[in-house]
Structures are given as structure tokens and as C-alpha cells.
Chain A
Amino acid sequence: MEGVLNQLPIGLSIGAVLLLIALGLTFTFGQMGVINMAHGEFIMAGAYTAFLLQSVGFLVALPAAFVVAGLMGLVLERTLIRRFYGRPLDTLLLTWGVSLMLQQLARDLFGAPNVQVVSPAWLRGGLGILPYNRLFIMALAVLSVLAIWAYMHRTGQGRRMRAVMQNRRLAATSGIDTGRVDQRTFFIGSGLAGVAGVALTLIGPVGPTLGTYYIVDAFLVVVAGGLGQLRGAVLAAIGLGLLNSYAEFWSDASLAKVIVFVAIIGFLQIRPQGLFFVRSRALT
């Protein structure tokens, strides 16, 4: 029984990390039809930012990683992805090329072996079965979701973002500068991946291929949650995190991913468009 309970914070914190990663993916995918494989490398960039700033302080690393990863995303959007709107499958291959280059760059800058970021002293220990570091990650995800929700529903920028996501042409006709909205969405989404990277330094080492471990699962969150859906992403991420950790616990670790895959395929039989979606009569 104790083992079952111990899995809970692990599953929830993995879910929290997946959520931070998937938020950016679901918005760039939902709003722009872009599948960004380089998103994983923004996670890595955030993690290395934390590594470089560990003498300065952990809390400084969070906003710094947000900005670093966000700027990387912005540059990628402006230079390359902008030319590929409406060609999701091509963006996938394009950004994978970018991701390869960024991984090699990380290898050249920081070396191929993993590095360890020392967790701040106040995050060691825990409350019973709840280690502080995992609690912190969950809190980070909750705060991020609240911030994103407030941004989307309480600011003018967020309103424009939702408008573009629902109907790009109509939004453009109504005078919204869709290009600018795209840039902002990309910046915020990539920035959140950077924050996820900082969070990951609390539970494991940092290496050039850090992002590749999480990107596939994060995409599954997008598929299961529904495109551009905040609620869907939250539920799917928690579900997938828990499913992952309990599948590992009850079967063996190597079967867990297969179980998760079968579960997703099964889920898509019931809800092929994910948990939530915008009803439309358009032919897709």
C-alpha cells in the first residue's frame, strides 16, 4: 500500500512536467498548425540555464530560463516556421533538423556527458511521502496554468490569441495582427518549456538529449487532450503522468510505455479528437 502511495507524487510531478511542456505544444499546434520537434531542445535550454545559474540562485533560473527558451522559440518562429504555416507535417521534419543542430550545439558547449544541477537546500527533504522537490514542481505547474488561464481569458492579448486559434481568417479580417499573436504564442509556449527544463533539474541530470525523453509523451498529451485546449492538456497530462508511473509500478518499466500507447489508442476510439475540442462543421 505504501508503494502505491509513493507512486502518487512521482506520477503527479511527471504529469506536471508534461503539462508545462505540452502547453506550448498544444497552443502552437492548435493555433498555427505547427508541430515543433525542437520544443524538446527548449526544455534542454532551460535546464542548462539552471545549470549555468546555479551559483546565482534557483529562483533566478526560472524567469531566466523562460526568457532564454522563449527567445529561442521566437527566433525559430521568425526565421523558419513562419514560412511553413499550414504545412504541419513539413514543420515536423523541419524542426527536427533544428533539434539535431541544437543538440549538437549543446554537446559542443557543455560536453556530451550529463551534468548535475545541485538542488537548493530548501527543496531537500519532504512532508511524509511528499518530497519538497516534487511538490515544488506541482506548484510550478499549477501557477503556470493559472497564469496562462488569466492571460487567455483576462487580457486583450489573450482574447486575440483565442480568436486566432478559433478562426484565423476571421480574426485577421477583424483587424487582429495574426503574425504578432503568433509570435507571442510561440514565445510563451517555448518559455514554458524552458521552465519545465528547470523543473527537471530537480529530479534528474541534464544532458544534450534531455528533451527527447519527454517530447513524445508531451505530444501524446496534446493528442489526448485536444488541440489548443487548456483543460484538456491539464487532464491529459495528469492522467498520462499517473498512468506512466503506475504502469511502471504494477508491470515492469519496459512494458509501461506499451501500456500507455495501447491506452491512448483505446482512448482515441472513444474520443478521436481528444478530451475537448471545438465543434465545427468544417471538413478537416
Chain B
Amino acid sequence: MTAVEAPVEAPPVVRREPRRWQGPAAFAAVALLALVVAPLLLEPFRLGLLAKYLCYAIVALGIGLAWGQGGMLTLGQGVFFGLGGYAMGMYLKLHDAGGDLPDFMVWSGVEKLPALWTPFGNPVFALAMAVAVPVVVALLLGALVFRQRVRGAYFAILTQALAAALVILLVGQQGLTGGTNGLTNFFDFFGQDLAADETQRGLYLTVAVVLGVLYLGARQLVRSRFGRLLLAVRDGEDRVRFLGYNPATVKTLTFAVSAGMAGIAGALFVPVVGIISPALLGVVPSLELVVGVAVGGRFALAGAILGAVVMGYARTYFSEELPAAWLYLQGALFVLVMTLAPRGIAGLAAGLVRRRREAGT
């Protein structure tokens, strides 16, 4: 590429004076809010919405890792989210059918349970697949693509094409996947009635805890040696290669971790929302997740989570209040964030703190 490269400057990596209490205190406060205050204050419907946003936040965390830390813009996280979701949906469908054929298969004239479905009757297998399939797909794609030094925009385009292809595949294989409708009408979740408020509250708490654990894990990863290598690959892939590391391995592994997170999010999303369908995982939802991360702040893992939740609320609020204006607003939001605040909310906040500190000293 001959255009002058001047990417958005990542905040400099500096070893700050460790301020040991502030980070953990903030985390504890957010955890308290999420685990105690929210379930007490929010009515079941709103709590369900929050659970849904937190599922998206798990995907966003993975995007933050791959894109913010690793420089890999992935426009296909919906694929991994969907694979996880379908694995979970298949188990729930089989469980509800109790030995019979799932309802949608009867409607599309399938007579015998397809071989692909049979093992998903086992919940352990289904849960394992919800993570394993996305990870394996990401490992394969990453290995093939990164090894050939295909990167940047090319990688973004390829992941987007994968999302487009998967949607068409899912819609087309009606008897296997439920087509456009996807998998829905779930009733029983490991012996609990899915419609009950209690079950939903339990699911919300599960999602929140999983998100917290994954966040801590991702943070640990970023701070580890591997994380520093990842940053180095983002900022100067060739230099890292000349130093004797293999950037392809670093990128592939990170991409697989982010895919695994999306898979977990998909598996949690299905019981929370009660549906997984092609419309939830195509090109547009995948891009929306990335935009959430950009709005929250791509260089900060917490920013990615914040962005997903903020975008989720904005979407719900505006599509209730001003449905026609939402697309304009969403479009305008992108343009504004990309133009004025490419580091997102987290970047703005960090700027404020820095300015105040400078003014104070």
C-alpha cells in the first residue's frame, strides 16, 4: 500500500506508578452494581435486556482483544457468536422435543433426526462444541490467513465475507437450521422453566459472572508477556518478526481466544433471549458490535464492554421512541465518533483524567 500510514495512535504503553487500590475498587463497585443492585432494582423485563447486552459485551471483549490490542479488525464475530448460539440452541431444541423431532423439522418435512444433530442431545457435548467449534474455525482461518501475511483491511473483508456466507448457508438449510426463523421456542433449561422470572434472574447472574471472569482473564492476558508481544505485533509486525517471534502464531491464538469468547456469548444468549437466527449474526450485527467497541474505546477492554452496553441501551431506547430516526442516529454516531473521538468514550475519559492531573500538579 502506498498511502501514508498514519493509524490512530494507540495510547503509549507506559509503566505507570501502580495505584493498587483504584482498579480493583472500580471493578468491585461495578460488580456490586451488576450482581446486587441491578437484580434488586430492575424489573424482570429490563433485567433480561441487560443480560442480553452483557452477552454482547462478552463478544465486545473479544473484539477489544483482537482489534484494540492485536490490531485485527474482525467483522465476522457474529459467525462465532452464531456457532456458539446454534450449538446451545440445538441442545435445547432436542431437550424440549424429548426424543421426538424438533418442531421446525417436522414443519419442513424432515423425517429422521440428521446425524449432525444427534450428539447435541448431550448438554456437555453441546456446551463444549459452543466453544470448540468457534475456536477451531478461528484457528483454521487465522492460520491460513495470517501465515500468508494477509492482514489489515484484507483480513477485515475476509471475515465479513465469512459472515455473509454463513448467513446464506443457515437460511438455505431450512431442515437442518430452521432457516430464517432460526431456532426458537425453548421451554426448559436444565430443569428450569425458561419463562420464569427466577430462571431469567439466574441466567442474568450467570452472564454477569462469566463476563467478569472473562474480563479478568483478558486483562491478565494483556498484561502478560504474551500481551506485550501482541501489542508489539499490532504496532510493528515486521519488527517483531525480525526479532525472531512468529506474529502469525500470536495473532492466530488471539483471534481464537476472541472467537471462543463470542461462542460462549452465543451459548448464553440463546437461553436469555430465547432465539438464535441468521439475522442475529450476519454482516450487520457483526459490524454493530465492532462499532460498539469503537464507541466505548477500542484500546481499553473495559471500554469495549461499556460500548456494547451503551449501544444496546441506545438501540432499545431509540427504536422504542424514535424508530425512524434510529438508523440516522446510529449512522451519525459512527461518523462523529470516528471523526472526533477515535479512541471512544474510554479515550475521552482518559484525556480528562490526564488533563486534570496535569492541571493539579
Decide: A86 and B291 in contact? CB cutoff 8 A.
no
A157 an interface residue at 8 Å Cβ cutoff?
no
Decide: B338 and A94 in contact? CB cutoff 8 A.
yes
Given contacts A97-B338, A261-B161, A265-B144, contact A284 B1 (CB under 8 A): yes
Render B312-345 as a binary contact track against A, CB cut-off 8 A, 1 for contact. Answer: 0000000000001001101111110011001000
Decide: B335 and A88 in contact? CB cutoff 8 A.
no
Decide: B283 and A216 in contact? CB cutoff 8 A.
yes
9 intermolecular pairs with C-beta atoms under 8 Å apart: A30-B2, A33-B1, A85-B3, A87-B8, A92-B75, A97-B333, A168-B4, A252-B172, A260-B165
Render A253-284 as a binary contact track against B, CB cut-off 8 A, 1 for contact. Answer: 11111101100110011001000000000011
A104 an interface residue at 8 Å Cβ cutoff?
yes
The listed residue (B2, B166, B334) touching A94 by CB distance below 8 A is B334
Assembled-state Cα–Cα distance A113/B54 (Å): 34
Most buried by A among B4, B73, B171, B327: B327
9-residue interface stretch from A42-50, A126-134, A219-227: A219-227
User: B residues bordering A, Cβ < 8 Å?
Assistant: 1-8, 73, 75, 141, 144-145, 148-150, 152-154, 156-158, 160-162, 164-166, 168-173, 238, 283, 287, 290-291, 294, 324, 327-328, 330-335, 338-339, 342
Decide: B172 and A254 in contact? CB cutoff 8 A.
yes
Assembled-state Cα–Cα distance A38/B162 (Å): 20
The listed residue (B3, B283, B331, B338) touching A33 by CB distance below 8 A is B3
- Interface class of chain A by DSSP: helix
B167 (CB) vs chain A CBs: closest residue: A257
How many residues of chain A are within 8 Å of chain B by beta carbon? 56
Render A67-103 as a binary contact track against B, CB cut-off 8 A, 1 for contact. Answer: 0000000000000100111111110111011111101
Decide: B332 and A86 in contact? CB cutoff 8 A.
no
Chain B residues whose CB sits within 8 angstroms of the CB of A86 once the complex forms: 3-7
A172 (CB) vs chain B CBs: closest residue: B4
Decide: A98 and B335 in contact? CB cutoff 8 A.
yes
The listed residue (A92, A169, A269, A283) touching B4 by CB distance below 8 A is A169
Most buried by A among B3, B73, B145: B3
A29 an interface residue at 8 Å Cβ cutoff?
yes
B158 to chain A, nearest CB (A): 7
Chain A residues whose CB sits within 8 angstroms of the CB of B5 once the complex forms: 33, 86
Question: How many contacts between A and B, using CB within 8 angstroms?
Answer: 151
A167 an interface residue at 8 Å Cβ cutoff?
yes
Decide: A264 and B160 in contact? CB cutoff 8 A.
no
Chain A residues whose CB sits within 8 angstroms of the CB of B1 once the complex forms: 30, 33, 88, 227, 284
Chain B residues whose CB sits within 8 angstroms of the CB of A30 once the complex forms: 1-2
B147 to chain A, nearest CB (A): 8
B154 (CB) vs chain A CBs: closest residue: A223
A118 to chain B, nearest CB (A): 29
Assembled-state Cα–Cα distance A220/B238 (Å): 25
Chain A residues whose CB sits within 8 angstroms of the CB of B153 once the complex forms: 29, 33, 35, 88-89, 92
A90 (CB) vs chain B CBs: closest residue: B338
Chain B residues whose CB sits within 8 angstroms of the CB of A169 once the complex forms: 4
Decide: A83 and B339 in contact? CB cutoff 8 A.
yes
Assembled-state Cα–Cα distance A93/B157 (Å): 12
B329 to chain A, nearest CB (A): 9
Decide: A93 and B290 in contact? CB cutoff 8 A.
yes
Given contacts A104-B327, A254-B172, contact A88 B165 (CB under 8 A): no
| 10 pairs of A and B residues whose beta carbons are closest in the complex | A254-B172, A97-B334, A33-B3, A101-B331, A100-B331, A272-B148, A257-B165, A104-B327, A86-B6, A94-B338
A223 to chain B, nearest CB (A): 5
A185 an interface residue at 8 Å Cβ cutoff?
no
Decide: A212 and B172 in contact? CB cutoff 8 A.
no
Chain A residues whose CB sits within 8 angstroms of the CB of B148 once the complex forms: 268-269, 272
Chain B residues whose CB sits within 8 angstroms of the CB of A89 once the complex forms: 7, 73, 152-153, 156
A144 an interface residue at 8 Å Cβ cutoff?
no
B67 (CB) vs chain A CBs: closest residue: A89
Given contacts A94-B338, A97-B332, A97-B338, contact A258 B154 (CB under 8 A): no
Chain A residues whose CB sits within 8 angstroms of the CB of B294 once the complex forms: 93
Assembled-state Cα–Cα distance A223/B160 (Å): 12
Decide: B330 and A100 in contact? CB cutoff 8 A.
yes
B60 to chain A, nearest CB (A): 14
Assembled-state Cα–Cα distance A219/B159 (Å): 11
Assembled-state Cα–Cα distance A205/B162 (Å): 26
A166 an interface residue at 8 Å Cβ cutoff?
yes
Given contacts A32-B3, A268-B150, A272-B149, contact A219 B160 (CB under 8 A): yes
Chain A residues whose CB sits within 8 angstroms of the CB of B333 once the complex forms: 97
Chain B residues whose CB sits within 8 angstroms of the CB of A94 once the complex forms: 334-335, 338-339
The listed residue (A31, A80, A283) touching B3 by CB distance below 8 A is A31
A171 (CB) vs chain B CBs: closest residue: B2
The listed residue (A29, A90, A97, A220) touching B331 by CB distance below 8 A is A97
Assembled-state Cα–Cα distance A181/B218 (Å): 45
Chain A residues whose CB sits within 8 angstroms of the CB of B170 once the complex forms: 254
Decide: B172 and A253 in contact? CB cutoff 8 A.
yes
Besides A101-B327, A269-B148, 18 more A-B contacts (Cβ < 8 Å) are A31-B3, A35-B157, A83-B339, A94-B335, A99-B331, A100-B334, A103-B327, A104-B327, A168-B3, A168-B4, A169-B4, A216-B157, A216-B160, A219-B157, A258-B169, A264-B158, A265-B144, A268-B150
